[in-house]
Each structure stands twice: as C-alpha cells, then as structure tokens.
Amino acid sequence: MTVLVVATGNPGKVTEFSAYLKDTPWELQPKPADLDVVETGKTFAENAALKATTVAQATGHWAIADDSGLAVRALNGAPGLYSARYGLDDNNRIRRVLFELQEFDDRYAEFLCAIAVARPDGSIAIAVEGVCPGEIVEPEGVGGFGYDPIFYVPAAGKTFAAMPKEEKRRYSHRGRAIADLLPKLNRLI
C-alpha cells in the first residue's frame, strides 16, 4: 500500500477520511503532530492545496488535505474560511452563528469542501470540491462535530448531527467531494 498522509490536526476529519478511503489501496497516516501549516489562502481550495503541498514536502509521502467550512448567506458567507476559528469551541461557534442570525429570516447556508492531493514532491495531483446546501436551525442531534447540530439538510429531513455516519457521508460536502475524488485517486497508483 502507498502511504497517504492526512494533512489535518482535526481527529474528526481523520476519522471521516479513514472511513471514506477504507477500500482503497492507500495507507492513511496522520500528519506529524509537530507539523503545523498556516492557512493563508483566500479560498478553501487554496488552503487545501497549501496544506497538502506542505505536508507532502515535509514527509516525502503523498498527502491529502481538505479545507471546509460553513457559509451562511445572511451573514455574507460567514463564518466561511474562519469556520474553525469563529469561537473558542464548537458550542461557542454554534451560539455565535445563532446569535448573529437572530435578526434574519433567511437561514440558507452551505457547507463547502475543497480537497487536494499532493505528490511527494508537493505538486498537486488532484483538486476537487463539494457543496451541500442546507439551512441553519436550532441544535438537533448528538452526532458529528463542529456545526453539525445546526446544519439542516432538507433533502434528508434532518441535521448532520441527527444522521447516522453513512447517511451523513452520502449528503455531506466532504462526501460529495470524495465521490468526485475516489476514481481519480485510485488511478494515481
């Protein structure tokens, strides 16, 4: 198997990538804990590419990275690139989004995901994106992580946090990006 380093410090994302890529010829490994990448990109795609490139060059292995976040229309796309830094923890971030939306009737939101795979030399081999439309609701469900309790997917009739993992994979922004990625990834080796 060929090593594919997951360029994230988020254990939730490592778990999701492991589930998505379990039946592939890739051996997933977490990035070294002391390897930090500063996200200076202006888009999710730029940040994903930056993380994949940096980790691939540092480790000498293939690397996969994603950058994703929540974009709320009434908040002019916020929290957007700052989704992970929109508060001190998940509960704080959720409360902030709900507080900022209290004056708005428009609750439309999208989860966006960009994934990049870099060769060991740091060049980008694959770049894909996925989008999941939804709306912001009061917290519902106990699964998932991040904004999952307040992100309602009309097509499923529930929030990400109320979905079993397999169902979330089918609807999520990351699941959609992975569906585009998998055939391309498996052709690389």
**Per-residue pLDDT reduced to its tens digit, 61-91:** 999 999 999 999 999 999 999 999 999 999 9
The mean predicted confidence, pLDDT, of the chain is: 94
**Per-residue pLDDT reduced to its tens digit, 128-167:** 999 999 999 999 999 888 999 999 999 999 999 999 988 9
Strand 158-159 relative to strand 151-153, pairing: antiparallel
121 is catalytic: no
Cα(151)–Cα(167) distance, integer angstroms: 14
Catalytic residue among 34, 67, 89, 180: 67
Residue 86's pLDDT is 96
- 178 close to 185: Cβ distance less than 8 angstroms: no
As for how many domains the chain has, the answer is 1
Tell me which residue range forms the domain holding 134: 2-186
Residue 103: CATH number of its domain? 3.90.950.10
Cα(156)–Cα(89) distance, integer angstroms: 27
- 44 close to 34: Cβ distance less than 8 angstroms: no
Q: What is the pTM of this model?
A: 0.91
Lowest mean pLDDT among 101-105, 113-117, 137-141, 163-167: 163-167
Three-state DSSP class for 104? coil
